[in-house]
Amino acid sequence: MEYPETHTKMTFKDLQLNSAMLRVVEGVGYSQPTPIQTRAIPHILEGRDLVGCAQTGSGKTAAFALPIVQMLGRSPGRRRIRALILAPTRELAAQIDEEFGKFGHENGLRHVSIFGGVGQQPQVNALQRGVDIVVATPGRLQDLMNQDYIRLDAIEFFVLDEADRMLDMGFINDVKRIVQRLPKARQTMLFSATMPQAIQDLSKRMLTNPVKVEANPQSTTVENIAQSIYFVEGGDKRDLLKHILQDPASQRVLVFTRTKHRANRLAQQLNRARIPAEAIHGNKSQSARSRALSKFKSGNTAVLVATDIAARGLDIDSVSHVINFDLPNIPESYVHRIGRTARAGASGIAYSFCDVNERKFLREIESLIRQPIAVVDEHPYVSAIAAPQPQPPASKPRANNRRRRSRRSRKTSASR
């Protein structure tokens, strides 16, 4: 069966969702399906295995969760785990679990998220009370399987979410081990923002005659975002950030640094400058991460400083700005990062700081997104050293002059 590719006129009803699910969708306030939902939901409801090329922010969770909840139907008296979703990070697992909570409530479905970094007992208790849906990271899931708290022999639906990130984080062998324990007769869905060869190989092993759907998330997301680049010396980045944060429009700002250490240090420095900021990264305890996230979501802290892995999959509504304090050395990460400011079709603003050592990352990013990023050349910390040499040199101010000018304007701004 062919499904229309334009999603503009499609409704959730056109996607074969039943009346109970349509009420659920209305209840959560989704008026129209996103492209990945339009393309994936009907196939999943037909029982097909599916490979979805989509990233977080595209609405992919609902793309698999809505049809799975519909197919699970009302929970039978005796509960067995019938749907398993694997996610690479705790935050993503918690968010997916939350969505299942919203969508599965009316059917009386029970769900639990299983991840490390917190005590296992509450998770074990939930499992022992009986659940229909488990959303898990691979490590803790295997721990609990090895202790016989989890049986996967009744799984009907299996989702591998953010498969490329699973690969990056070294979870692929764990995933393969878990898949070996699943019944052969099941429906499998694999979602990934990118499709490197290793993921294609994995999908051949794990899925049966899958339908492939794509939501072209990278270009659409990037198109909605106003992106700019600030050439700045490494030592001036912090002052430039503070300068940008003075703008009242910077209300909820997600800042990315290259390392956990830099995230911590920057958050401390911002707090010392009376800019409430929290850091979120993999060395923080689960409770510290959740606390930081909820303070940011509620608007109590304006700035969240994150590393790539910590921010992966975070569902934060209305981030006003994404600021790449450090440019990522993997160009795809740039697209993932700035996607935080353009959730489900909203537009956003992304600023990137680039020092002289990061110019090659910038070139790779611009080649991935197939567009140059606009340069902000009027700011108090302009660095002629970081900026590529002007072409042709004669028609532009000399580097030294630009540098002197920038120092002067810095003074002016500081005295304001």
CA distance 139 to 286: 15
The residue among 2 and 317 lying less far from ligand AMP, judged by its C-beta, is: 317
Binding site residues, ligand AMP, CB under 6 A? 30, 32-34, 37, 56-62, 315, 343-344
The residue among 21 and 327 lying less far from ligand AMP, judged by its C-beta, is: 21
Least distance to ligand AMP from the beta carbon of 398, Å? 48
Query: Which long-range contacts does 338-342 make (Cβ < 8 Å, 24+ apart)?
Result: 338/221, 338/222, 338/225, 338/227, 339/55, 339/56, 339/57, 339/217, 339/221, 340/57, 340/254, 340/311, 340/314, 340/316, 341/225, 341/254, 342/57, 342/221, 342/224, 342/225
Least distance to ligand AMP from the beta carbon of 343, Å? 5
Least distance to ligand AMP from the beta carbon of 182, Å? 23
Ranges assigned E (strand) in 241-398: 253-256, 277-280, 303-306, 321-324, 348-354, 374-375
CA distance 6 to 55: 19
Least distance to ligand AMP from the beta carbon of 8, Å? 13
Residue pair 381/410 in contact (Cβ under 8 Å)? The answer is yes
The residue among 218 and 406 lying less far from ligand AMP, judged by its C-beta, is: 218
The residue among 37 and 218 lying less far from ligand AMP, judged by its C-beta, is: 37
Least distance to ligand AMP from the beta carbon of 63, Å? 7
The residue among 296 and 361 lying less far from ligand AMP, judged by its C-beta, is: 296
CA distance 204 to 127: 31
Residue written as tokens 């944060």? 245
3-state secondary structure at position 122? helix
Least distance to ligand AMP from the beta carbon of 19, Å? 18
CA distance 127 to 96: 17
The residue among 340 and 402 lying less far from ligand AMP, judged by its C-beta, is: 340
Look at residues 130, 185, 156 and name the one whose alpha carbon lies nearest to residue 73.
156
Least distance to ligand AMP from the beta carbon of 215, Å? 10
The residue among 52 and 380 lying less far from ligand AMP, judged by its C-beta, is: 52
The token duo for 11 is: 């409704």
Beta bridge partners of 153: none
Look at residues 293, 286, 285, 291 and name the one whose alpha carbon lies nearest to residue 311.
293
